[in-house]
């Protein structure tokens, strides 16, 4: 399956979020006869500040519109950060990228959550880490539940790959996307 993304951009009228974008991910697949079909594979929203990407979450158009209303965002052209993030997500879904190189804005997170989120962002494609190991990398080896809390409230899904963090039994625990 190949993916195409359609973007709708917005810019904030408040200082916290400077831009956001909605992406509809369209899959192109072939059936047994070779006939190609388009199908909606999902959608997500990205939002940035002047410092970096601040949000990425999977959502419906209705959820996205609620997000815009909550954050007093209006539709306009996406910022350079949002465009770059959308391009990298597009490459990721097309199988051309396995890691991201984007500035992240984790403002509003506690110092511990910031450490956990930054450590999670370092988990390589195809690898997993337990909550306990992630907590250890963040400097608090006994804080696996708190690390799980940080993953449950990950503001930048996919880019910060919380889906690569598992319980000590290697199973998913508390996975709650969309964020």
Please identify every residue annotated as catalytic.
Answer: 162
Based on its alpha-carbon atoms, the radius of gyration of the chain, rounded to whole angstroms, reads: 17
* CA of residue 135 relative to chain centroid, distance: 20
Tokens of 135: 């907590």
Alpha helix stretches (DSSP H) within the chain = 61-70, 80-93, 111-120, 131-137, 144-152
Query: What residues does 2 pair with on adjacent strands?
Result: 28
C-alpha closest to that of 45 among 58, 30, 33: 58
Tell me which DSSP letter residue 124 carries. Answer: P
Residue 54 CB-half CA count within 13 A: 19
């Amino acid at each position: 399956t190949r993916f195409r993304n359609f973007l709708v951009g917005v810019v904030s009228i408040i200082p916290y979020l400077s831009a956001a974008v909605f992406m509809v991910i369209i899959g192109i697949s072939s059936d047994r006869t070779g006939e190609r079909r388009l199908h909606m594979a999902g959608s997500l929203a990205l939002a940035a500040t002047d410092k970096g990407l601040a949000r990425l979450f999977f959502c419906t158009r209705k959820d996205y519109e609620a997000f815009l209303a909550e954050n007093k965002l209006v539709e306009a052209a996406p910022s350079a950060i949002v465009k770059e993030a959308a391009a990298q997500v597009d490459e990721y879904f097309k199988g051309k990228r396995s890691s991201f190189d984007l500035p992240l804005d984790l403002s509003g997170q506690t110092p511990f959550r910031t450490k956990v989120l930054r450590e999670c962002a370092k988990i390589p494609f195809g690898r997993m880490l337990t909550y306990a190991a992630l907590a250890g990398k963040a400097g608090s080896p006994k804080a696996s539940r708190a690390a799980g809390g940080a993953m449950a409230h990950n503001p930048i899904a996919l880019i910060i790959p919380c889906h690569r963090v598992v319980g000590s039994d290697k199973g998913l625990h508390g996975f709650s996307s969309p964020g």
